Structures are given as C-alpha cells and as structure tokens.
Amino acid sequence: MSHMISMMLFILSLALPSYVMAGSSEAGKPILSQVAVVDFANRVQQDLASRGASVAIVSRMGRNPNVLPDGVTYTHVAFWVYSQTTRADGSTGRGYQVYNLYQQAENDTRSSLVQDSPADFFAGAHRLDAGVIIPDVRVQEKLLSVIASPTYAALHNPQYAVLANPNSNRFQNCTEHTLNVLMAALYGTSDVPQIKANIAAYFEPQHIQIGGLKRAFAPAASQALTTADHGPTVSTATFGSIARFMNANELASLVYRITPDSLIRF
C-alpha cells in the first residue's frame, strides 16, 4: 500500500507543474541571457515612462505557458513605481522600483515583500513577455498613497499558497496582495474584512480547473499547493482577472502586452 501511495505521488508530481504558478519567487538560475533581460526591462521602463505612468501593475511569464492552467498566462505580478533609484555604481537617477511579494526559496509556504529593479523582476522570466496595466491617473494617485503607507505591508499575509482564494485571508499569493492593495486604494480602507467583502462583491477571480485527485494529493508534494481555503471549486486572482476588473470598472487607462518587438493592446 505504501509503495502504491508513493507511486501515485510520483505520478502526480509529474503533473503538478501545470498548477505551480510559482514563477513568483525571486530569480534563481536564470533561463534567459542577462543582456536580453536587461534590454527588455529597459524597454518596459521606457514605455511606461513615455506614457507618464507613476505606477503600473506589471506581470511576467515565469513558466512555460504550455504547462499553465487554462486562462493563466502570467505567473507573477507586482507594482512598478516611478522613483529615485540608486545604480550599481552608487549614482542616483529616476526609474522604476518594483514592489513584489515573493515566495521564499527556503520555505515555499512563506512569502516576503521585496523591492527590486525591473531587471531583477524579469531575471526569473521563462519568456520576455509582460502584461501591463496602467491605472487611470486618479487610481495611480490612490495607489501611490497606499504603497507609501504602512497599509501596504499590513495587507501582507506571509502564509503563501499558489492558488490562494482572494475572498479569504487564510493564504496569499502575489496577485492577491496586489488586489488587496488595489482595493485599499479604491475604497480608502486598510480594514482587511472590508477589503475581502469588497473583493467578494465586485471581483471575479479566475476559475482553475483541477481534478479532485490532483487537488487531494497536491499538498503532499508541496504545502504551497494547498486549496484548503477554497470550497468545491478553485478560483484565484490572476493578472487577467485584475485586468478584466479594472477595464469593466473604467479604472485603467491602458492594458497591454509587451514583448521585445511588439506591443498589443488587450
């Protein structure tokens, strides 16, 4: 019996990557060349700056899209804030600082809030392809106020789950934290129960198709794959679901996809 269970877990572990949207950790071993990553990071920065974006929601493709669940393209989302930055040589200038929630490498059930550079953000990318939401000017101002306040950190729950339920505060992933901050900005509140009530009322998360057997055994491979905060179905916040929410409520000035040689409006 134990051999059968071990074999089942092994088989499931081969299938699990389609649900491990972790691409939400700090860069480990790079997949792409550093030169290509830096060039692309600068392209995204220059594009945002040319549009006068003080803050944007940017996503990266951290895993092969062929192994991601239907409806999911990007695996990590963060705020990019136009700020004074310090270069490697110690000089200062203006550019984008990235505000991330990263899954910890040493403990995949925990997360940390980390600020890094656009090049660091894309260092963990599987492909140089980014989804971008530029909020309208009013929303940008509100977001900047929240990000600069204690509320930003207070809305962080370090109990990490890849498929965290955005209607619950039991676990959290990077996209849920982004959504929490957005709701705090829109409704002028730092009260988590109120934020969760607003999410439940107005936000439609991305449904994730996951079979019962895989769902039952996934936590045996990694506790970060728990779906204990969900009911019969599994839904989570994604870049796409945030983009749909913002477009539907006229909160975004532009939503688009950018690659090294193209820009496509969603």
List pLDDT tens digits, range 209-245.
887 556 665 665 567 879 989 999 999 999 999 999 9
- C-alpha dihedral sign at 61, 124, 182, 83: negative
Q: What was the pLDDT predicted at 212?
A: 59
What number of other Cβ atoms are within 10 A of residue 138's Cβ?
12
Q: What was the pLDDT predicted at 95?
A: 95
Pairwise pLDDT comparison (88 vs 21), residue with the higher score = 88
How does DSSP classify residue 4?
H
pTM above 0.75, yes or no: yes
Structural element, H or E, at residue 199: helix 192-202
Q: What was the pLDDT predicted at 210?
A: 81
How does DSSP classify residue 56?
E
Mean pLDDT of 143-157: 98
* Alpha-carbon separation of residue 154 from 164, 184, 221 (angstroms): 18, 11, 30
Sequence spans of domains, the chain: 2-265
